[in-house]
Amino acid sequence: MIRKVYFYFIRLGFGKLLTIWYKRSAFRRLVNELPDLWPVLLPDKESAAIKRSSLSTLKYVQNFYLKNTYIGLWGYNLTPVILYCFYKMRGMPASIGFIWHVYYPFQTTTVLPHTIAYIYEMFAGSFSVCAMVGADLLFITMASHISMLLRQLQMKVRNLGNRRENTPLKPASNYHDCYEDIVDLIKIHQRIISYGIDLEDAFSAVNLINLLLSSVNLCCGLFNVVFLNPWQEMNDKMFVIIALAQMGMICWYADDIARASAGVADAVYQSGWYECNARCRRAMLVFMQRSQKPLHFTALKFKAITMMTYGSFLTTSYSYFTLLYTSYRRH
């Protein structure tokens, strides 16, 4: 079971790395386009508050994921050495074991092959974790920025028409003409949606790899916690927490973008459209109709990623675990 966790984890990390390398030109273009959309000077306090809250949440999520992932990585890497020192201190026979307990095409009982195998396992595990963490952090960072831009757009849309509560409707001759403001916001919305679609195309294959392999990783990690490796139980528990956090944050940010893009249509309805002239109302109607089609991130166009996807991920992982549990108990 440890070998299965190891190989699925290696495939997950290398699959993400190869996908990003294959689409490196698309990622380079997305990174270069982001400064044009980024709100540098914000004239109002509401937009600044949205930006500050979004960046604060992103910083917390990144630190939590990064620190716990590397704690788990070095927990795995150093466990054989810690166990060796523990046995030696108690006067028991001890030898430095391996991290992942995989088969090799050569004998690992002598010093040099054992050292080479141990260094390989440390390098392969660290490289896979760096590849996986880099891809995940890139996704949630760019997704967080898109969600922030959409929420700032919602706030600007709500202010259209200078609506005032408990103010009677004005005569038709006194209706506001904010057509130019509406056109500017529509252009901003189109740029954000276009950027989001490009980001979805770049990450769709990576998200498919996540959905296909993360359930198996979580299932094998749970199996190790329940049945195997009592000395590595803390490491396996950390692995389970990281697997849950990884899919959770990806699904949460993807779902947040879908809700933020759908909220633009609600913002149009909550604006002062009834205080605008007929030309502005027609433009706002078109704006609302386009906004009612939310932006979704998908797993290579097969499945939209939302928090419901996270529920399906947990259900699938538990189903795999119960199947392994039943098979193991029978034998």
Q: What is the pLDDT of residue 40?
A: 64
Of 230 and 294, the one with more pLDDT: 294
Average of per-residue pLDDT across 300-321: 83
Q: What is the pLDDT of residue 3?
A: 47
DSSP H or E stretch at residue 11? helix 2-22
For 17-31, what is each residue's pLDDT tens digit? 777 778 788 888 888
Rounded to whole angstroms, the Cα distance separating 185 from 196 reads 16
Q: What is the pLDDT of residue 164?
A: 47
Rounded to whole angstroms, the Cα distance separating 174 from 133 reads 56
Instruction: Reply yes or no on whether the pLDDT at 234 is more than 70.
Output: no
Q: What is the pLDDT of residue 219?
A: 78
What percent of the chain has pLDDT above 70? 85
Give the chain's mean pLDDT: 79
Q: What is the pLDDT of residue 50?
A: 85
Long-range contacts of 221-227 (CB under 8 A, 24+ apart): 221/5, 222/317, 222/321, 223/1, 223/321, 223/324, 223/325, 223/328, 224/1, 224/2, 224/5, 226/325, 227/1, 227/328
What tokens appear for 121 in the block? 């396992």
Of 56 and 174, the one with more pLDDT: 56
For residue 176, what pLDDT band results from cuts at 50, 70 and 90? low
Average of per-residue pLDDT across 2-12: 55
On whether the CB atoms of residues 80 and 96 are closer than 8 A, the answer is yes
Instruction: Reply yes or no on whether the pLDDT at 171 is more than 80.
Output: no
Of 210 and 259, the one with more pLDDT: 259
Average of per-residue pLDDT across 150-175: 66
Type of residue found at 208: L
Q: What is the pLDDT of residue 232?
A: 62
Look at the chain and count its residues.
Answer: 331
